[in-house]
Amino acid sequence: MSKVQVLVGTKKGAFVLTSDGTRRKWDVNGPLFAGWEVYHLKGSSVDPNRIYASQTSGWFGQIIQRSDDGGKSWEPAGGGPTTTPDGMPKGESNKFAYEGEIGKHLWYDGTPHPWEFKRVWHLEPSLTDPDTVYAGVEDAALFRSTNAGKTWQELPALRSVKGHLWQPGAGGMCLHTILLDKTNPNRIYVAISAAGVFRTDDAGKTWRPATQGLKSAYELPDKKSEVGHCVHRIAMHPSRPNVLFMQKHWDVNRSDDAGESWDEVSGNLPSDFGFPIDVHAHEPNTVYVVPIKSDSEHYPPEGKLRVYRSRTGGNEWEPLTNGLPQSDCYVNVLRDAMAVDSLDKCGVYFGTTGGQVYASADAGDNWTPIVRDLPGVLSVEVQTLP
Amino acid sequence: MIRVELPFHLRTLARVEREVTVDVIGPVTVRTVLDAIETRYPVLCGTIRDHVTQQRRPFLRFYACEEDFSNAPMDTPLPEAVTSGKEPFSIIGAIAGG
């Protein structure tokens, strides 16, 4: 029988939640890296035993951890501490050095400010090579490792796309989304708060903004501005890589031409503000979002935690509430904290800032909390295992 | 032999006890002690001082013999009691957060 493994990053460590394919009973393992913020964990689709984790701390900086046994054991990717002094590798798995001239972006007050590495927000393993993994970092940039996380090199052309005009959002200037196109290994999309969406068609040598059609009237008075849109998350179905869905600061958007243009599909949502967005594993037109009241009030409208599902690729949305708190609920769901499994029926999972991880084994019709009292959840990823 | 006290999370990361010892050849300064720590425990590279700028991480402090060396020039000689191994050089996480 298939097995499901949910990888949960929280503000105080990581947790691994496992169940068989029924998804009724769950084992909880953790905290891993206890006391550290774990922004993201993600397994390789080529080798599910290979999992990367971003462990970070305001005190001690960034650590990249790697598991080669499906999450049972972990070592810093640059080499563990147990080897002998003569054999120790240089500890550079946490060295994220910007290429060339550091450059400056806009600070909150509109003045130029030098790029400063703070943390890794998102790790995206290659679709073809378990030793290759991308890292989206704050201050926003894209790094790649081709040796399983031991060393990292920036893909610097991204920051040359009007990087001097990028500005941090309230959460920092983070590159939080990396989408790889399995039909075109040279095509990568990244999303940055608050800079926008960018696409490369030559594996990172050159990039261009992919923001035409986005409307950010409050944040960007210039309607033609290519950069500065506060994109919270983008998602695609692997079978249809030219169709993208986006949760922006305000507005849910859709592109049918690989990001060349965008249309708003917020439709009947009670609020089009939110953070995560994801696509059903088997229905490319079924999309999930979690509406949040506003940019000033980061909790569900009316204190009711509702996932909204569209089976029409946007515009027509239905609330999914069975099993979710429908009164006095004031948690948030962060941008990397929703994921789907690939079982039939598709499982949907999300974590909250209140430490709950909810699971639906029937594509969102019914929800059950796997755990209720973890630290605030930063990220949720799912591995569907044989 | 220089005694160095590490904060909890760095002990966990390096899988060592509260206090470790390192050998420093030449002058014993903040810089040479940190160099020795990073050579002995490469997993700690970048966790005490920034990889690129080599600046102390803002929420860490360096103490020895009841003196604060956090903002002292990195080549400041450490007290004889540290050099002789009588007193430790302490790396401490600053109080912050909730």
Residue type, A253: N
How far is it, in rounded angstroms, from Cα A77 to Cα B4? 25
Position A82 scores a pLDDT of 45
Confidence of residue B16 (pLDDT cuts 50, 70, 90): very high
Asked whether the predicted pLDDT for residue A127 surpasses 90, the reply is: yes
Position A80 scores a pLDDT of 57
How far is it, in rounded angstroms, from Cα A142 to Cα A145? 10
For residue A312 the two structure tokens come to 């029409």
- Please give the distance of CA A88 from its chain centroid, rounded to a whole number: 33
Q: Convert the pLDDT of each residue in A232-271 to its tens digit.
A: 999 999 999 999 999 999 999 999 999 999 999 999 999 9
The answer to whether the CB atoms of A90 and B45 lie below 8 A apart is yes
Q: What structural domains and CATH numbers belong to chain A?
A: 1-35+237-386 (2.130.10.10), 91-229 (2.130.10.10)
How near does any CA of chain B get to the CA of A95, in Å?
6
Tell me if residue B7 falls in helix, strand or coil: coil
Please report residues of A whose CB lies closer than 8 A to that of B38: 91
Using CA coordinates, name the residue in chain B closest to A59: B59
B27: contact with A, CB 8 A cutoff = no
Is residue A274 a contact partner of residue A291, using CB atoms and an 8 Å limit?
A: yes
Confidence of residue A87 (pLDDT cuts 50, 70, 90): very low
Q: For chain A, what's the residue count?
A: 386
How far is it, in rounded angstroms, from Cα A298 to Cα A281? 28
Mean pLDDT across chain B: 93
The answer to whether the CB atoms of B13 and A63 lie below 8 A apart is yes
Prediction pTM value = 0.95
Asked whether the predicted pLDDT for residue A352 surpasses 80, the reply is: yes
Tell me if residue B38 falls in helix, strand or coil: helix
What is the ipTM metric for this complex?
0.91
Interface of B with A in 46-85 (CB under 8 A): 46-48, 50-52, 57, 59-60
Identify the sign of the CA torsion B92, A139, A32, A377. positive
| CA end-to-end span of chain B | 37
| A52-66, A285-299, A323-337, B41-55: least confidently modelled range | B41-55
- Distances from the Cα of A231 to the Cαs of A39, A173, A335, B2, in angstroms? 18, 11, 10, 50
Using CA coordinates, name the residue in chain A closest to B8: A35
Using CA coordinates, name the residue in chain A closest to B11: A81
The answer to whether the CB atoms of B15 and A76 lie below 8 A apart is no
Confidence of residue A144 (pLDDT cuts 50, 70, 90): very high
Domain boundaries, chain B: 2-93
Is residue A135 a contact partner of residue A122, using CB atoms and an 8 Å limit?
A: yes
Nearest residue to B88 (alpha-carbon basis) of B98, B78, B96: B78
The answer to whether the CB atoms of B43 and A91 lie below 8 A apart is yes
How near does any CA of chain B get to the CA of A64, in Å?
10
> Which CATH number is associated with domain B2-93?
3.10.20.30
Asked whether the predicted pLDDT for residue B7 surpasses 90, the reply is: yes
| A72-81, A188-197, A354-363: least confidently modelled range | A72-81
How far is it, in rounded angstroms, from Cα A150 to Cα A52? 11
Q: Which of A35, A58, A91 sits opposite B46 (nearest CB)?
A: A91
